[in-house]
Amino acid sequence: MIHTAVLKKEVLEYLDPKQNENFVDCTVGEGGHSEDILNSTGPNGKVLGIDLDPQQIVYSHWLEAIYKDRVVLTNDSYTNLKEIIERKNFGPVSGILLDLGMSSAQLEGTHKGFSFQVDQGLDMRYNDLTGYLTAEKIVNEYPEEKIEEILRDYGEEKFSKKIAKNIVEQRKQGRIKTTFQLIEIIKDATPSVYWRGKIHYATRTFQALRIAVNDELENIKRVLPQALSVLQPQGRLVVISFHSLEDRIVKDFFKKNKLFKILTKKPVTAGRDELGKNPRSRSAKLRAVIKI
């Protein structure tokens, strides 16, 4: 599966990369956005590409073959942004991109249980070395009230109470180990009309579990102040979020921080052409600021 980076034209517009400037791609993925930045910042501009998923770093090595020492890749969490920049002696930083979406490879090319299209184990960690918590542990060992809270708060799942109750009932029969097992449990706990909605009826539950496993919302809160501190004056920060919880955190941080000038009064979304070519872009929201 070839991953298509979202909002590529808009990212370049708001990052506004110029000759010989340096940028950080906090979630380098397969290098789609970084390629565009590198093409705009030659001959000496550099990109620091960070990704917590080691496989994503492997996928982005092709950038090094083309752009040589203009590319610096590191398998790490963007929550360590300031430390990474110091360790790599990278800078000055003219712009930072934080794309919070998952790639097609992560959804369909791994065996972590991110996708409900294939039957896999319920892992959902981006990196096996970052912690012991998995989706399987949550659904089999957490109390019903805590599971309901995760589904409600992180997935905005309106049937969180019924799904959590059914999970706890079903695990009495044996451990819930696979995505297909969980999908059936969700289906049994929800009305048939829910199965025919615009999004798959398991989407919100899977989203919630993934966020809980990887502590994604807290990670966004950790990285934003660091991004502000490492940007040089007139440096730009562009964030692409994919659901309302992420977008709300970004929006609130930008509004409350007086060291930023907001460039996007409303979130920028994909145009008709991109939506036709890449349906996954439908939930992408871009917000951008410039450091004063």
Task: Confirm whether residue 142 is marked as ligand binding.
Answer: no
Task: Confirm whether residue 36 is marked as ligand binding.
Answer: no
Task: Confirm whether residue 51 is marked as ligand binding.
Answer: yes
Full set of structural domains in the chain with CATH: 8-105+216-291 (3.40.50.150), 110-214 (1.10.150.170)
Residue 18 DSSP SS3: coil
Q: How confident is the model at residue 113 (pLDDT cuts 50, 70, 90)?
A: confident
**What's the rounded Cα separation, in Å, for the pair 289 and 233?**
12
Segment 168-192 shows an average pLDDT of 97
pTM (2 decimals)?
A: 0.90
Q: How confident is the model at residue 2 (pLDDT cuts 50, 70, 90)?
A: very low
Q: What is the pLDDT of residues 203-262, one digit of tens each?
A: 999 999 999 999 999 999 999 999 999 999 999 999 999 989 999 999 999 999 999 999
Task: Confirm whether residue 101 is marked as ligand binding.
Answer: no
Task: Confirm whether residue 32 is marked as ligand binding.
Answer: yes
Q: What is the pLDDT of residues 136-150, one digit of tens each?
A: 999 999 999 999 999
Q: Which strands sit side by side in the sheet containing 260-262, from one edge to the other?
A: 71-75, 47-51, 22-25, 93-99, 231-241, 285-291, 260-262
The residues with which 121 forms a beta bridge, in sequence order, are 178
